[in-house]
Amino acid sequence: MLRLAVLISGRGSNLQSLIAYTAQDTVPAMIVKVLADKPAAGLALAEAAGIETETIDPSLYPDRASFEESLITAIDKAKVDIICLAGFMRVLSPSFCRRYLGKIINIHPSLLPQYKGLNTHQRALDDGAKQHGCSVHIVTAELDDGPIVAQHQVAVNTADDQDRLAARVLAEEHKLYPAVIGAIAAGLITIRTDQGQLRLDHRSGAIPGHIPGMEQHMQWPLPTCPFHSKEMAEK
C-alpha cells in the first residue's frame, strides 16, 4: 500500500480527486495525512473522508527552517512513501527538497517547462498558445523544474478567457494526478534516487503526453470527480 501525504493551501479540488481515487478498494494507495500551511478550505474535504489533517502556519515560526522542521516531523510521523503537492503555494527549501528527493511530486497547471510559476493560464493566452495543459513532475530545489512524470494537453480555443481555460485544465488535472498515483502504486512508474540523482523509469517506455502504461492502468475504475463535471469543463 502506497502511503501518501497531500499538502494543500486552498480549495483542494486536486486533493478531492485523490481522495475519491484512493478510496477505491482496487487502488493500492491511501492518503494518510493532509497538511496545510493555512486554514485551507480543502481541509474539510479530508476531514469528511476521515483523513488526519494538520495545519502548520509558517507565520507562527521565526523562519522557514523551523517551519519546515515542523513539516518534516509531521511527514515522518505519518510514514509516507510519497508527498503530493496539490496546490501547495509555498516554495520548499533546497534542503527540504533534498531530504525527500524522489518522494515529492507536484501538479502544475501548464505544460512544463512552459509557464513555471503563477498565472499560467493568462500567460498562455497572452502568448497566443495553441496548446496548454498540466504536468505532474518530481519536485527538486528549482521551482517547477524537476523531471516531468506525465502531462495532459488541452487545446486553447479562440473564445477562451482565463477562467474557461483554467476550468478545462483543472478537469485534466483531476484525471492526471490520480492516474500518476495509480501508476506509481502499480509499479508502472518508479522513481529512484542514486547518489543524489533521480531516476524515473516507465515500465513500458516513454509516451509523450501520457504515462507509459497508463492506458492499462486506466482500465481501473476511475471515480467521477465532482470537480470535473461537464458543465464546469464547458464553462
Residues that bind ligand GAR (CB under 6 A): 8, 10-14, 42, 86-87, 107-109, 170, 173
Q: Which is closer to ligand GAR, CB of 30 or CB of 232?
A: 232
Is beta strand 53-55 parallel, antiparallel or unpaired with respect to 82-85? unpaired
CB-based contacts of 210, cutoff 8 Å, min separation 6:
150, 152
> Least CB distance from residue 135 to ligand GAR, whole Å?
9
Look up 202 and say whether it is catalytic. Answer: no
The active-site residue out of 108, 137, 152, 202 is 108
DSSP string covering 148-166:
EEEEEEEEPPTT--HHHHH
Cα 46–Cα 49–Cα 51 angle in degrees, nearest 5: 55
**CB-side exposure of 5: number of CA atoms within 13 Å?**
23
C-beta of residue 185 within 8 angstroms of C-beta of residue 27: yes
Q: Which is closer to ligand GAR, CB of 14 or CB of 140?
A: 14
DSSP string covering 154-198:
EEPPTT--HHHHHHHHHHHHHHHHHHHHHHHHTTSEEEEEETTEE
Q: Which residue is nearest to ligand GAR (CB)?
A: 87
> Least CB distance from residue 39 to ligand GAR, whole Å?
14
Query: What is the H or E stretch that residue 34 is in?
Result: strand 29-36
Q: Which is closer to ligand GAR, CB of 41 or CB of 218?
A: 41
Q: Which is closer to ligand GAR, CB of 171 or CB of 186?
A: 171
> Least CB distance from residue 73 to ligand GAR, whole Å?
24
> Least CB distance from residue 12 to ligand GAR, whole Å?
5
**CB-side exposure of 158: number of CA atoms within 13 Å?**
0
> Least CB distance from residue 195 to ligand GAR, whole Å?
28
Q: Which is closer to ligand GAR, CB of 54 or CB of 173?
A: 173
Chain position carrying cell 500567460: 123
The set of catalytic residues is: 108
